[in-house]
Amino acid sequence: MLVELKSGETLNGLLINCDTWMNLTLREVVQTSSDGDRFWRLPEIYVRGSTVSTHIIPPTMGDGGWLS
């Protein structure tokens, strides 16, 4: 899942959990700075839903039927 934060930073990782406020838990994350110059690998991150600007869920996540 790709998540863009309001700060301009992006997070790309495996979605583990999402609640009704769109708070997310991601694993195996690559975080990119807003200017695109720096990258960090994080084992896990919790993202507060109010900081999310955009999120993109890959179509393959719907294969299990849980997004249908």
| pLDDT given for residue 29 in this prediction | 97
In this structure, the number of other CB atoms found within 10 A of the CB of residue 53 comes to 12
Task: Provide mean pLDDT across the span 57-64.
Answer: 67
- CA 19 – CA 29 distance, rounded (Å): 19
User: Is the full-model pTM beyond 0.85?
Assistant: no
| pLDDT given for residue 41 in this prediction | 98
| pLDDT given for residue 50 in this prediction | 96
Could you tell me the domains of the chain? 2-51 (2.30.30.100)
pLDDT tens, residue by residue, 8-42? 999 999 999 999 999 999 999 999 999 999 999 99
| pLDDT given for residue 68 in this prediction | 44
Backbone angles phi, psi at 49, to 5 degrees: -55, -30
